[in-house]
């Protein structure tokens, strides 16, 4: 029996998961890495540390499964998106710490671009102009690090996102490693045209980036090459899938038809909706992105909306207010009252993301009475997670004209059944959680397995799909009508505040 391996290189940790034919987890290992914070607004990772962790998690997961690299039919990579680094193709070493997606050091550079540049970037890439994406990070590396400048001049510099770094290292590094990325990761750089799926000359010029240092853009599912037998697999295994983390979760959730949508509930929320072969350009504050591209088939696109504060509002109840001591306690506390008692909580701690994009908004708790308790506040916090998610989904429906009938979910908060029931009632649709909650790693495994014929096609994968839990919307629930109206009133208070 052979297996599929999936390397999930995330923001806080790196994991390797081994899946079997039915998509079940055989073994896994995970290692955290340091968050390097040199100054306010700067966030870096040590790419060497991540490479060491990558080798270790692969070795240990193989050991735990009692198999060798040769037992893997293929491996896939999924990764934290946008995080960017430069390395030396001869020494195989990073030339600077990786600049993480959260890093805002390049805001001033972006502010200095012309309105015409902004328009081109927006139209061609489907993204907003933000330091979050890779383009301005690469510009920073090229203009602020003498080592990188020097390496570019002498033709030794390679630049890429985390997928590229890991793929290059796994396929041999300075002994002929492949310098590649996939369309989903490339679609987060501000440098790729969504239509051509290639690096765009005008965009490269705006950011001052020579194309020679960039990886080749590949599909998300094909045999790119093989791992170096001298590396952690100890064998030549087909490297056959690459997807950015949110897109990988879409594939792992089998959101493969137009209209299919998933939300990952973590510290913040990420919602993506498949728009098929259509590029939907947003006028409602959503991002347009590549969802996946399987081999020679046409690319599938998605629109994406993120909510900055969801799980972190629960952390705030725990750490700042001290009304719970563990995140999981919020459910029982909220359940101890039958409704929110008229209390609405808008956790706009650092502004609001989609669909509002107001960095100046600040949080509010409204509707307090003498009878309000911490339980009402806990309930209001859970409702806020769901109302914010509905705001994004409503914006998506306006954009695509597609009305959802159900939504697939994953992430830490989905353990909270009350929250998921509130979500169903607030949106008026069913909420579905799959058996395998590791959807991010599963997506890259699916992409790799499809490429090598380990699975016959997406129909076979659909046959494996199993629902762990479904929360049904109660018809005409008051939270959907009056509750949502009150939420919107509360929301205006946070926008009025500034
Ligand atoms: P991330 O991948 O962003 O680190 P996770 O998927 O691990 O996030 O989810 C962690 C977040 O979920 C934390 O912000 C935590 O406050 C929240 N959380 C965890 N368990 C619960 C729960 N039972 N109810 C509500 N929120 C929860």
Which DSSP string corresponds to 279-340?
----SSS-EEEEEE-BTTSPPEEEEEEEES-SHHHHHHHHHTS-S-SSTTHHHHHHHTSSS-
Which atom belonging to ligand 1 lies closest to the Cα atom of 12?
A: 4
d(CA 43, CA 97): 9
Mean pLDDT of 15-42: 93
Per-residue pLDDT at 361: 83
Mutate to test the pocket of ligand 1, among 413, 417, 438 (most ligand atoms within 8 A of CB): 413
Inter-axis angle of helices 162-170 and 47-65, nearest 10: 60
DSSP assignment letter at 11: S
**For the purposes of burial, counting CB atoms within 10 Å of the CB of 319, is it exposed (0-12), middle (13-18) or buried (19 or more)?**
exposed
Does residue 62 contact residue 68 with C-beta atoms inside 8 Å?
A: yes
Q: 3-state DSSP call for residue 121?
A: helix
**In whole angstroms, how large is the CA radius of gyration of the chain?**
22
Per-residue pLDDT at 102: 84
For 102-192, strand residue ranges (E) read 157-161, 180-182
Per-residue pLDDT at 422: 98
Q: Determine which residue's CA is closest to atom 2 belonging to ligand 1.
A: 266
Q: Determine which residue's CA is closest to atom 23 belonging to ligand 1.
A: 328
Q: pLDDT (tens digit, 9 = 90+) per residue, 234-243?
A: 999 999 999 9
Does residue 498 have a pLDDT over 80? no
Predicted model pTM: 0.91
For residue 76, report the phi and psi dihedrals to the nearest 5 degrees.
-125, 160
Q: pLDDT (tens digit, 9 = 90+) per residue, 270-294?
A: 999 999 999 999 888 899 999 999 9
Residues 6+ apart with CB under 8 A from 163: 9, 77, 78, 79, 181, 182, 185, 242, 244
For residue 107, report the phi and psi dihedrals to the nearest 5 degrees.
-55, -45
Q: pLDDT (tens digit, 9 = 90+) per residue, 202-235?
A: 999 999 999 999 999 999 999 999 999 999 999 9
Q: pLDDT (tens digit, 9 = 90+) per residue, 442-465?
A: 999 999 999 999 999 999 999 888
72: Cα separation from own chain's centroid: 26
Q: How far is the CA of 328 from the centre of ligand 1 (A)?
A: 8
What percentage of the chain has pLDDT greater than the value 90?
86
Q: pLDDT (tens digit, 9 = 90+) per residue, 360-405?
A: 788 999 999 999 999 999 999 999 999 999 999 999 988 888 888 8
Q: How far is the CA of 384 from the centre of ligand 1 (A)?
A: 14
Which atom belonging to ligand 1 lies closest to the Cα atom of 10?
A: 2
Mean pLDDT of 329-350: 96
Q: How far is the CA of 333 from the centre of ligand 1 (A)?
A: 16
Q: How far is the CA of 266 from the centre of ligand 1 (A)?
A: 5
Per-residue pLDDT at 119: 95
d(CA 415, CA 410): 9
Mutate to test the pocket of ligand 1, among 33, 102, 315, 327 (most ligand atoms within 8 A of CB): 327
Which atom belonging to ligand 1 lies closest to the Cα atom of 411?
A: 6
Does residue 142 contact residue 208 with C-beta atoms inside 8 Å?
A: yes
Q: pLDDT (tens digit, 9 = 90+) per residue, 146-184?
A: 999 999 999 999 999 999 999 999 999 999 999 999 999
Q: How far is the CA of 26 from the centre of ligand 1 (A)?
A: 24
- Work out the mean pLDDT of the chain and round it to a whole number: 95
Does residue 279 contact residue 269 with C-beta atoms inside 8 Å?
A: no
Query: Predicted confidence band at 1 (pLDDT cuts at 50, 70, 90)?
Result: low
Q: Which residues line ligand 1 (CB under 6 A)?
A: 266-267, 311-312, 314-315, 327-328, 330-331, 411-413, 415-416, 419
Q: How far is the CA of 373 from the centre of ligand 1 (A)?
A: 23
Query: Predicted confidence band at 16 (pLDDT cuts at 50, 70, 90)?
Result: very high
Q: How far is the CA of 220 from the centre of ligand 1 (A)?
A: 29
d(CA 170, CA 445): 16
Which atom belonging to ligand 1 lies closest to the Cα atom of 314?
A: 16
Q: How far is the CA of 415 from the centre of ligand 1 (A)?
A: 9
Mean pLDDT of 113-124: 96
Per-residue pLDDT at 58: 98
d(CA 275, CA 272): 9
């Amino acid at each position: 029996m052979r297996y599929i391996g999936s390397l999930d290189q995330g923001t806080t940790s790196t994991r390797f998961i081994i899946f079997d034919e039915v998509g079940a987890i055989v073994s896994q290992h995970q290692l955290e890495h340091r968050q390097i914070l040199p100054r306010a607004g700067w966030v870096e990772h040590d790419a060497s540390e991540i490479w060491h962790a990558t080798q270790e998690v692969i070795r240990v997961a193989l050991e735990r499964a009692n198999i060798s690299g040769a037992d893997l039919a293929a491996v896939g990579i999924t990764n934290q998106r946008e995080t960017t680094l430069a390395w030396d193709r001869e020494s195989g070493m990073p030339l600077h710490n990786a600049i993480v997606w959260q890093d805002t050091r390049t805001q001033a550079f972006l502010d200095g671009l012309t309105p015409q540049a902004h328009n081109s970037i927006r139209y061609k890439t489907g993204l907003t102009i933000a330091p979050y994406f890779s383009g301005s990070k690469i510009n920073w590396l090229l203009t602020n690090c003498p080592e990188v400048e020097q390496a570019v001049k002498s033709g030794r510099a390679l630049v890429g996102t985390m997928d590229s770094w890991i793929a290059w290292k796994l396929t041999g590094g300075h002994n002929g490693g492949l310098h590649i990325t996939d369309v989903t990761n490339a679609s987060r750089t501000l440098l790729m045209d969504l239509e051509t799926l290639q690096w765009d000359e005008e965009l490269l010029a705006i950011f001052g980036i020579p194309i020679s240092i960039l990886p080749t853009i590949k599909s998300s599912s094909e045999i790119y090459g093989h791992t170096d037998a001298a590396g952690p697999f100890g064998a030549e295994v087909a490297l056959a899938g690459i997807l950015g983390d949110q897109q990988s979760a879409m594939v792992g959730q089998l959101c493969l038809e137009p209209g299919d949508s998933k939300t990952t509930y973590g510290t913040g929320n990420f919602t993506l909706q498949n728009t098929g072969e259509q590029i939907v350009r947003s006028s409602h504050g959503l991002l347009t992105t590549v969802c996946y591209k399987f081999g020679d088939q046409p690319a599938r696109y998605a629109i994406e909306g993120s909510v900055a504060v969801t799980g972190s509002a629960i952390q705030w109840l725990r750490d700042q207010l001290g009304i719970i001591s563990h995140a999981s306690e919020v459910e029982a506390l909220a359940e101890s009252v039958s409704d929110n008692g008229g209390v609405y909580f808008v956790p706009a701690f650092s502004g609001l993301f989609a669909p509002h994009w107001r960095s100046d908004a600040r949080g509010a708790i409204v509707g307090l009475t003498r009878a309000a308790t911490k339980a009402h506040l806990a309930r209001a916090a859970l409702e806020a997670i769901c109302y914010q998610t509905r705001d994004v989904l409503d914006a998506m429906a306006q954009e695509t004209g597609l009305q959802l009938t159900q939504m697939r979910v994953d992430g830490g908060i989905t353990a909270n059944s009350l929250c998921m029931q509130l979500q169903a009632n607030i949106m008026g649709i069913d909420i579905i959680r799959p058996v395998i909650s590791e959807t991010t790693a599963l997506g890259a495994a699916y992409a790799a397995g499809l490429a090598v014929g380990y699975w016959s096609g997406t129909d076979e994968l659909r046959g494996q799909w199993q629902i762990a839990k479904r929360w049904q919307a109660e018809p005409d629930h008051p939270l959907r009508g009056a509750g949502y109206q009150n939420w919107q009133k509360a929301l205006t208070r946070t926008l009025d505040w500034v």
